[in-house]
Amino acid sequence: MICQECNQRPATLHFTNFSNGEKTEMHLCERCAQEKGEMFMMNQGPGFSINNLLAGLLNMEPAFKTKAKEPFPQEKVIQCDNCSLTFPQFVKIGRFGCAHCYDAFREQLSPVIRRLHSGNSTHNGKVPQRIGGSIQLQRNIASLKNTLSEHIAREEFEKAVELRDQIRSLEKELAEKRRGGE
């Protein structure tokens, strides 16, 4: 495949963009991709790495841009208490300094993780078929309990009663499945 930009060299980098349900593909040689620079997140050197990809995703995320209410806002730099890595440093290098960075930068990472995982921020993993029913019931119960707590906090007691009853019936069903050998 030939580079779509220069029509001379072989395309070695292939970019696919999904925007508003439309898929667009771009096939470029290394030289043209480097010349495009910021558009393809290649502005940190001659090579393309997963670190550059992550750094590019973080730079493109609008959730990190704060609206200034003051004429000269003092932006607080978020830093890991354990390794002293700052969030701008993380964005630049694309990797954490330690395991504690996940907690330190949780608020900034949440929108990116949701964006990468189609709106989900938790990983549920695969469930083995032979015990899948019980695990799914446990997850449903945990989710309903969280929703129940929210309704109680908002003093929506009628909805809370309905959820409580649902939880009880699911817990009874789970107990029966466990007694049945699953």
**pLDDT band at 43; cut points 50, 70, 90:** very low
Q: Mean pLDDT over residues 2-14, rounded?
A: 88
Alpha-carbon span 112 to 14, nearest angstrom: 22
Report the pLDDT value the prediction gives residue 144, as an integer from 0 to 100: 93
Q: For 135, what's the count of Cα atoms within 13 Å in the CB-facing half-sphere?
A: 9
pTM of the predicted model as reported, rounded to 2 decimal places? 0.35
Residue 175 gets the label, from left (phi > 0), alpha (psi -120 to 50) or beta, of alpha
Alpha-carbon span 82 to 98, nearest angstrom: 8
pLDDT averaged over the chain?
A: 76
Report the pLDDT value the prediction gives residue 61, as an integer from 0 to 100: 43
Using alpha carbons, list the distances in angstroms from residue 40 to 47, 57, 80, 92: 12, 11, 29, 15
Using alpha carbons, list the distances in angstroms from residue 151 to 17, 139, 145, 148: 40, 19, 10, 5
DSSP for residue 10: B
How does pLDDT run across 57-86, given as a tens digit for each residue? 655 444 444 445 555 555 677 888 889 888
Backbone angles phi, psi at 53, to 5 degrees: -65, -50
Which residues is 26 bridged to in the sheet?
15
Give the end-to-end CA distance of the chain in Å, rounded to a whole number.
Answer: 54
How does pLDDT run across 149-171, given as a tens digit for each residue? 999 999 999 999 999 999 999 99
Q: Specify the DSSP element, H or E, that contains 27.
A: strand 22-28
Report the pLDDT value the prediction gives residue 40, as an integer from 0 to 100: 47
Report the pLDDT value the prediction gives residue 149, as an integer from 0 to 100: 92
